[in-house]
Structure 1
Amino acid sequence: MASTNSHLAFQVKRSIPELVVPEKATPHEVKKLSDIDDQESLRFLIPVIWFYRNNSSNNPSMEGKDPVKVIREALGKALVYYYPLAGRLIEDRNKKLVVDCNGQGVLFIEANADVTFDQLGHTIQPPSPFLNEFLHNVPGSDGILGCPLILIQVTRLLCGGFILALRLNHTMCDAFGLYQFMNTLAEMAKGAQHPTIPPVWKRELLNARNPPRITRIHYEYPHETTDDHQQLHDGLDQTNMVQFPLFLNSNQIRGIRSHLPSHLRSACSRYELLTACLWRCRTLALNLDPEEVVQISGLVNGRGKKSNKGLNLPVGYYGNAFAYPSAVSKAGVLCKNPLGYAVELVKKAKSEVDEEYLRSVADLMVIRGRPPFKITKGHLVVSDVTGAALDKIDFGWGLPEHAGPATGFTLISFFMKYKVGGEDGVVMPICLPLFAVDRFRQEVKKITTEAPDMYEITEAHLVRLTSRF
């Protein structure tokens, strides 16, 4: 039984999980991940979710078709091209991750929920309070090594809509790589025989150089002499963390921009603006020691950059291809200065990412034994997936009402597209200690000039951090 403080309750009945294998024979081989893929910080499972209304009337060819059957069959076809995703991770020498492309398959769950799309309301925004209902954890499937790399659950709704929830081993691909796989899956569901963009492996393109050499400063990783993991557990009460959605509409985003000096207003991207705003509001809410060093790390995609800056990765590359450079400040300085100070730091950090930066990250992984990203109470990692086109996945029934990561994590948040009352905006799952939620809300109110009723954080919005993810 699913239930939250929103008082919505419903039953989800699931069939026995099955393994979907490639429809045709695929090569049985071992493929190495890149040194960007093979980071300790990417050895986790990320849940992503798509919500679809019943729009079959807009496409008569899908009338009467079962989304579970259509997507299951399309999955077998797509895995012929993306056969490494049907394999299992194993460790080579020095804990190097490699994929045993053994064709064992992807876990698939068929389900039915006695609830309509409209009844779900705003619970479709992350963090999804019903994630455990729409993405069942199959016992023994949630490890990194020797487990299915993807788990998919397709849940039919009473109204004829459906929900596709997916759990991905992040070492295999990033948001852009996931989009490419899902788009192929959607193409196959609509009858295509071949993907529009064939997948490209070539993970060696992002391996460390020989000899490896660290040529940039990487604040996102801990110093070799510090125990940042202990700092986190000393500083944040992990038993009292909650998560809630922060939605900002276009008017509120303009309100935030109005706090910038004139020279920054037109020169600052939405990503830079929201990253700086979130960093400052979070730091204020945590009430940290003014001398404590705080930082925010924003993911910067290495694809599609010009040859003098970027990696020139081939079209179809679906591995991880990003870095997360850090903006760093003392907490007191960040909080006392206007927003423009934080924006300047975020812009500077983002500008550091070029081909050499990515090469330096890959080399650092080899030299220092794949350290995780810095884990301290004053560190936040943000990922803007608004440009990853996850909301463009159409299995034949139209575009999803919402798509993106289903939850944030203790020190990780995501920027996603979201629409309220027909108005476009950005939603972010925010993770904070319970004591900091109200102050965070007040700081956001100040910087957005006004806060609509939609944003008022009530007990119904709060999701306790008990998720297995």
Structure 2
Amino acid sequence: MVKEGTTDDARHGHCRDEVTITAVSTVAPALPVQEHRLPLSNLDLILPPIDVSVFFCYGDPAGGRSHHPATVLKAALAKTLVAYYPMAGEVVANAAGEPELLCSSRGVDVAEATADGTLLRDLRLGLPDESVEPLVPKKKAGVMSVQVTRFNMRQAPSSRCTVVGCTFDHRVCDAYSFNMFLVAWAAAARGSSAPPAPSFHRSFLAPREPAPLSCTAGNLADRLFVPVSLAPALPDTAATNRIYCVSADDVAALQASAGSGRTKLEAFTAHLWQLYAKAAAASRRQQQSCCMGVVVDGRTRLRRDGAMEAYFGNVLTIPYGVMGTDALRGMTLADVAGDVHRWVAEAATGEHFRELVNWVEAQRPEPTVARAYLGRGHGGEDAMACVVSSGMRLPVGEVDFGWGRPAFASYHFPWPGGAGYVMPMPSARGDGDWVVYVHAAPEVVEVMEAEPTVFRALEEANYLFD
């Protein structure tokens, strides 16, 4: 079900890079859903009201035909929203002032756009502030928005291509959940059989009654999260956004240097932590400590029988470590990776996730925040902070709307916090390379780009369509 409309953007036209919004419509589920409210789980409530974007670049989806590829996407979206009906709703406040989902079949706003006279291969995607911002929607209402941009080159029809950008409310779902939605949407567009339906059973994350005394103070949950009223103000720091390629060889070399038993993500995080220490030491702010966090998914930790594989929502925690810049710079990569492994493993347990559910219950209705975001050392001093969130499970090859796998894909998450945010995902090429979205202080980006390996420029002209 599609409701057509226009916006000021559609009437006034051009954005940067000659992107013009030509139409905006709202796509509702193909079958009606009885309006109801769906509470957010306690693990949803630890997320602030922030939006996450992801975009996918394709060759010529229309195969030289004139119709806009949004036609196919909107029809498939209406079908997919029947099972994923919360994505067609909106976040509202309950009687206690907490956010919850109103499943109202409001629908998903879909903008159709064109980029006449611009080649996607000419965009500097490694500089997302100038190239990606016009390609991902700014969500104005609802849970999710979509923008479909077609690059039309009248003189060179073979250069036609399309970008599908999506923006969603992180309080409603994590990357794992949104991956499920993307795969289902793509399957509907191809006419393939639907994957297993999502589960919205909040009973998986229900607090224990009565909650053990250890669930309120002094435990790991209490060390990783804090009520907002007790949290220090976030620093107002400048940030730079970049998208890099990390080659499969560099990933393997980092893992080898990190020592036996360390994952690729642990090795990558250790390397990044040391780069942050180098940047902090050179910064005019003279920060003496660096805080590094890692987002950990809890589905398999809570239920080893696979019962939560289809669970849709947030099942996350964010362990972190703090270390002095001089200590970090003087350690081997293996020693730093060992420290990352220690605090990640401490949080990657079912018991921690159960205690976190109960800890949040004890704080409600006051909101909470992850300490990893706050940029504080052990003594309360300012610390340069970063959070790593793995997007390596994004099944890029399965986000095929009938036009083949994407030529390029990346997250886009220029969040307002003072901490950096780094999100690696598999290259759309399927060759073992990583595409890494970086939101970090300018001095950190300078250090990344000064090193001879690991964080490499995309060299878009060759990377996208060679």
Q: Normalization by structure 2: what TM-score?
A: 0.80
Say if 2:403 is the partner of 1:415.
no
Q: Is the 8 A contact 2:276 2:290 kept in 1?
A: no
Report the more deviating stretch, 391-400 or 279-288: 279-288
Q: Is the 8 A contact 2:424 2:436 kept in 1?
A: yes
* In 2, Cα distance between equivalents of 1:306 and 1:436: 36
2:344 match: 350
Change (3 A) 1:391 1:95: farther
Change (3 A) 1:407 1:43: closer
Change (3 A) 1:224 1:96: closer
Cα distance, 1:437 vs. partner?
A: 3.5
* In 2, Cα distance between equivalents of 1:315 and 1:424: 25
Q: Is the 8 A contact 2:280 2:286 kept in 1?
A: no
Give the SS at the match of 1:281: helix
Of residues 319, 325, 330, the one that matches 2:324 is 330
Query: Which residue type is aligned with residue 432 of structure 1?
Result: A
Of residues 269, 282, 286, the one that matches 2:280 is 286
* In 2, Cα distance between equivalents of 1:293 and 1:272: 20
Query: Which residue type is aligned with residue 229 of structure 1?
Result: A
Change (3 A) 1:223 1:196: closer
Unpaired segments ≥5 residues, structure 1:
4-9, 142-146, 457-469
Q: Is the 8 A contact 1:415 1:427 kept in 2?
A: yes
Give the SS at the match of 1:129: helix
Alignment of 1:38-437 (within 5 A): 38-39=45-46, 41-54=47-60, 66-115=68-117, 118-120=120-122, 123-125=124-126, 127=128, 129-137=130-138, 141=140, 147-158=141-152, 159-192=159-192, 195-212=194-211, 213-214=215-216, 215-216=219-220, 218-222=222-226, 227-230=231-234, 232-233=235-236, 238=237, 240-260=238-258, 264=259, 266-287=260-281, 292-305=288-301, 307=303, 310=304, 312-352=306-346, 353-368=348-363, 369-374=366-371, 375-376=374-375, 377-409=383-415, 410-418=419-427, 424-437=432-445
Cα distance, 1:431 vs. partner?
A: 3.1
Higher relative contact order, chain-length normalized (CA < 8 Å, sep 6+): 1
Q: Is the 8 A contact 1:393 1:400 kept in 2?
A: yes
Report the more deviating stretch, 200-209 or 181-190: 200-209
* In 2, Cα distance between equivalents of 1:390 and 1:88: 27
* In 2, Cα distance between equivalents of 1:278 and 1:135: 27
- Say what the alpha-carbon RMSD is for the aligned residues: 3.0
1:21 match: 28
Q: Is the 8 A contact 2:244 2:436 kept in 1?
A: yes
* In 2, Cα distance between equivalents of 1:331 and 1:300: 24
Q: Is the 8 A contact 1:20 1:75 kept in 2?
A: yes
Q: Is the 8 A contact 1:385 1:404 kept in 2?
A: no
Give the SS at the match of 1:27: coil
Change (3 A) 1:189 1:291: closer
* In 1, Cα distance between equivalents of 2:230 and 2:101: 32
Change (3 A) 1:117 1:174: farther
* In 2, Cα distance between equivalents of 1:22 and 1:419: 29
Report the more deviating stretch, 245-254 or 95-104: 245-254
* In 2, Cα distance between equivalents of 1:419 and 1:395: 14
Q: Is the 8 A contact 1:325 1:349 kept in 2?
A: yes
Give the SS at the match of 2:29: coil
Query: Which residue type is aligned with residue 242 of structure 1?
Result: T
* In 1, Cα distance between equivalents of 2:251 and 2:410: 20
Change (3 A) 1:284 1:184: same
Give the SS at the match of 1:48: strand
Change (3 A) 1:341 1:19: same
Cα distance, 1:68 vs. partner?
A: 0.7
Give the SS at the match of 1:274: helix
Q: Is the 8 A contact 1:402 1:418 kept in 2?
A: yes
* In 1, Cα distance between equivalents of 2:117 and 2:323: 47
Q: Is the 8 A contact 1:292 1:330 kept in 2?
A: yes
Offset from partner CA, 1:210-232 (integer Å, 9 cap, x none): 333244255433488864325x2
Give the SS at the match of 2:55: strand
Q: Is the 8 A contact 1:219 1:326 kept in 2?
A: no
* In 1, Cα distance between equivalents of 2:359 and 2:286: 31
Q: Normalization by structure 1: what TM-score?
A: 0.80
Matched-pair identity in %? 20
* In 1, Cα distance between equivalents of 2:31 and 2:60: 32
2:378 match: none
Change (3 A) 1:208 1:24: same
Cα distance, 1:247 vs. partner?
A: 2.5
Q: Is the 8 A contact 1:86 1:148 kept in 2?
A: yes
Give the SS at the match of 1:15: strand
* In 1, Cα distance between equivalents of 2:248 and 2:308: 35
Change (3 A) 1:337 1:185: same
Q: Is the 8 A contact 2:396 2:428 kept in 1?
A: no
Unpaired segments ≥5 residues, structure 2:
1-13, 153-158, 376-382, 460-466
Give the SS at the match of 1:196: coil
Give the SS at the match of 1:295: strand
1:37 match: 44
Cα distance, 1:15 vs. partner?
A: 2.7
Cα distance, 1:105 vs. partner?
A: 1.0
Q: Is the 8 A contact 1:284 1:440 kept in 2?
A: no
